[in-house]
Amino acid sequence: MSSVSAISPVRVAVVQFDPQCGLEHRSFNLSHSLHLAQRAVAGGAQLIVLPELANTGYAYRNREEAFALAEAVPDGPSAQAWIEFAREHKVYLAAGLAERDGHKLYDCAMLVGPDGFIGKYRKAHLWNLEKLWFSPGDLGFPVFETPIGRIGLMICWDVWFPEVPRLLSLQGADIICSLNNWVWTPPPLFDETGKCMASYLTITAAHVNNTFIAAANRIGTDRGDRFLGCSLIAGTNGWPLSEVAGAEEETILYADVDLVSARSAPIWNSLNDLPRDRRVDLYGSMLGYDRHAALPR
């Protein structure tokens, strides 16, 4: 099941677990992420998605602590361990980690595969206290061409900005790995059936972009911050391909996805095709405007 010679189908796994912040937890966070990734491999996974900041936990006390936990990407110890894992098991792995580059820190997502490091993305939209430790991402929204398909990366608060999945889709992403630390925010956080807004955003982003989204979130509480779980794998029509995970349990979700289907037009009718139907003539450059530069008519 670890063959990567075929484009599709690909067995995708999203892993939700409970990393804890602090130097004393770093070693366990990493080894436990590898243990869970190993379980995913045993389950047949060829592409495994770990949450945001999977090795360090989330709730840094201050920038100094974030700095001490961060590492070079791909040369740091967690990055190298994940690279080695992907090489050994001949799988693709997207993992979130705190990156240190000189004096700057980034909330980073790294994609690795059977041949080693593929690329990284630095979170563009920073949430809350992240703004106190991390620099805003400066690598754009890259899509990586791999033998199993084109893979885009996004992190947590990014999905609140429909620009992000749209830009990844416009570059041909077959699947977006969404690495998250979705946190409990002011109510109402859930609809009347218990579905959270993050699920809504993931489902609609997949739907309007005809793209798979494999969204891994963390669970648990980290120094008082409570996380949502709700990991899911959305199909190109948006709807989850397997259950949506709960807020509490450490778990792995799987889906076998036919990446080729993200390259076909959605089967609406013979006249509509979402990418073709975009009115780029009308959007102009206005989507790149600041709100306050665009006055109401």
Enzyme catalytic residues: 52, 123, 156
Return the percent helix, strand and coil in the chain, to nearest 5: 30, 25, 45
Min CB(88)–a copy of itself separation in Å = 27
Min CB(96)–a copy of itself separation in Å = 19
For the beta carbon of residue 1, count every other beta carbon within 10 angstroms: 11
Min CB(89)–a copy of itself separation in Å = 25
Min CB(187)–a copy of itself separation in Å = 9
Closest to a copy of itself by CB, 2 vs 62, is 62
Which among 64, 61, 69 has a CA at the least distance from the CA of 25? Answer: 69
Q: What are phi and psi of 186, to 5 degrees?
A: -55, 145
Closest to a copy of itself by CB, 49 vs 173, is 173
Min CB(291)–a copy of itself separation in Å = 4
Min CB(295)–a copy of itself separation in Å = 7
Query: Residues 178, 253, 41, 149: what is their CA dihedral angle, to the nearest 10 degrees?
Result: -40
Q: Do residues 212 and 206 make contact, with C-beta atoms less than 8 angstroms apart?
A: yes
Closest to a copy of itself by CB, 103 vs 279, is 279
Crossing angle of helices 197-209/163-170, nearest 10°? Answer: 30
- Number of continuous H segments (helices) and E segments (strands) in the chain: 8, 13
Q: Do residues 226 and 244 make contact, with C-beta atoms less than 8 angstroms apart?
A: no
CA 96 to chain CA mean position, Å: 8
User: CA distances (Å), 159 to each of 22, 182, 286, 290, in order?
Assistant: 27, 11, 20, 19
Q: Do residues 89 and 44 make contact, with C-beta atoms less than 8 angstroms apart?
A: no
Closest to a copy of itself by CB, 103 vs 291, is 291
Closest to a copy of itself by CB, 132 vs 260, is 132
Helix (H, G, I), strand (E, B) or coil at 37: helix
Distance CA 2, CA 11 (A): 9
Residue with the two structure tokens 């609809």:
191
Closest to a copy of itself by CB, 15 vs 168, is 168
